[in-house]
Structure 1
Amino acid sequence: MRTLLIALIGLAFAAPAGAAPAPHLSIASFDQLATPLPLPYDEQANARAVVAVAKARARARHKLLLIDLGGNWCLDCRLLAGAMDLPELRKFLAARYEIVVVDVGRFDKNLDIPAHYGITERLEGVPSVLIVDPRTDRLLNPGHTAALADARSMSPQALADWLAGWTK
């Protein structure tokens, strides 16, 4: 039973082989993040427009598109934003991703964004992270979009490793 559980946990965080290794983070715990934690989601933004601009920029710069779906009310979303603001992770991500954040309210706003990528049921949790190939507009991490929805149960390094796992 334990082996099965370990295998299932591994599948939950699965990413393609050959990914770029994440940088070693300077913190071991989310308690070490600067406070207050960021409030990254612009509740007034035109989500379609900001995603379109980020997608075009990603395509032009030969990067992946990372769409972070969440809300400022969500601790896990704010922990993700705080970790992504760490200088070593921010530099790593900026070289590989165009990142856009989309406020989904209380699962009642901007749901056309995940629907565009085939996520038409209620989001499994937030943050939900969509990794998109901007050339094909194809979701690269189907079935794994909510892997960071319980970020507080991970270490910052595990979170960084997951984000790096989709890159080359």
Structure 2
Amino acid sequence: MRLALAAIALTFAAPTLAAPGPKVVAASFAQLATPLPLPYDETANAKVDVAAARARAKAQHKLLLIDLGGNWCLDCRLLAGTMELPGLREFLAKKYEIVTVDVGRFDKNLDVAAKYGLKDHFGGGVPSVLIVDPKTDTLKNPGRTAALADARTLSPQALSDWLASWVR
């Protein structure tokens, strides 16, 4: 029941009429490589990293994907592990410039989130995924940034579909 409700919620968290994402090889998170990735560099300069990723995205005509989270967060690590799956990894590399931003326990790099209108616990927790148009530096998914904060209730394919839904 919880999985069904999460799938329904995810449907409303993505644009309508979106094509499904690349088919992923893992039917469940139990099939992801272990240990799960620790995707957030706790010593990185987030502002510099985001600015550089935005410049690359703009130059390469890609979207900017800013992944806000922490290595303590299971949902963040499941998302990172799913994004490393063959097929999805290649799709994401073609369509997005991806940058991860460590937010600690909601006490670090909050200025990056605030720049895009997020505050407190980012409207639902982490991971918060910001899909940004690099030309205008505006969110393409306002109100839907925390849609993957309960990633563990979804499937790897549902995550793939959500990530693909923002690409034209």
Question: TM (normalized to structure 2)?
Answer: 0.91
Q: How far apart, CA to CA, are the structure 1 residues paired with 2:149 and 2:77?
A: 11
Task: Give structure 2 stretches of 5+ with no counterpart.
Answer: none
Runs of 4+ in structure 1 over 3 Å off: 5-8
- CA root-mean-square deviation: 1.7
Q: How far apart, CA to CA, are the structure 2 residues paired with 1:140 and 1:91?
A: 22
Q: How far apart, CA to CA, are the structure 1 residues paired with 2:126 and 2:47?
A: 19
Which residue matches 1:158?
158
Which residue matches 1:86?
85
Which residue matches 2:41?
42
| CA deviation profile, 1:96-145 (whole Å, cap 9, x unmatched) | 00000000000110010111011133322000000000000010101100
Q: How far apart, CA to CA, are the structure 2 residues paired with 1:43 and 1:32?
A: 27
1:98 aligns with 2:101: no
Which residue matches 1:149?
149
Task: Give structure 1 stretches of 5+ with no counterpart.
Answer: none
- 1:61 positional shift: 0.2
Local SS of the residue matching 1:147 = coil
Percent pairwise identity: 69
- 1:15 positional shift: 1.6
Residue correspondences, number: 163
Q: Output the amino acid matched with 1:152.
A: R
Describe the shift of the 1:78–1:20 C-alpha distance in structure 2 as closer, same or farther (beyond 3 A): same
CA contact (8 A) 1:63 1:97 kept: yes
Describe the shift of the 1:100–1:6 C-alpha distance in structure 2 as closer, same or farther (beyond 3 A): closer
Which residue matches 2:116?
117
Local SS of the residue matching 2:132 = strand
CA contact (8 A) 2:10 2:162 kept: no
CA contact (8 A) 1:12 1:147 kept: no
Q: Output the amino acid matched with 2:22.
A: P
Which residue matches 2:62?
63
What are the residue-to-residue correspondences of 1:6-17 with 2, within 5 Å?
Answer: 9=9, 12-17=12-17
| CA deviation profile, 1:17-52 (whole Å, cap 9, x unmatched) | 3x4531111110000001000000000000000000
Local SS of the residue matching 2:97 = strand
- 1:9 positional shift: 2.2
Question: TM (normalized to structure 1)?
Answer: 0.91
Q: Output the amino acid matched with 2:149.
A: A
Q: How far apart, CA to CA, are the structure 2 residues paired with 1:148 and 1:10?
A: 8
Q: How far apart, CA to CA, are the structure 1 residues paired with 2:10 and 2:154?
A: 13
Local SS of the residue matching 2:87 = helix
